[in-house]
Amino acid sequence: MTLESGIMTEEPYLARLRRLIEEQYEQHPTGCGGSFGELLCYEIHTGGLTFLWLAEKWGVSVTTLGELIYDHCKCLEELPVVDFTYTRE
């Protein structure tokens, strides 16, 4: 539960997992930064972990790790910009 505008709300599941992972890394810093995206990239690219190994390290299923990665990647997409000069050739 989180407090938003004086109202207690349920924290979405993936957001809760990201927060818990970030909080645990605060106790064991990697030097790469503390955001979920920085930690994810560090473990995969610098740490050399596969998705299976990272899921085991974080104590989640591979499916849940996939959802976390998918959710993270969606946030990286640029917002759509319509090209009104587009013409089909």
| pLDDT tens string 9-68 | 789 999 999 999 999 999 999 999 999 999 999 999 999 999 999 999 999 999 999 999
Give the global pTM.
Answer: 0.76
Confidence of residue 4 (pLDDT cuts 50, 70, 90): low
Confidence of residue 8 (pLDDT cuts 50, 70, 90): confident
Residue with tokens 């064991």: 28
Q: Report DSSP letters for 18-71, one per residue.
A: HHHHHHHHHHS--SS-SSHHHHHHIIIIIS---HHHHHHHHT--HHHHHHHHHH
Between 4 and 25, whose confidence is greater?
A: 25
Residue-level length of the chain: 89
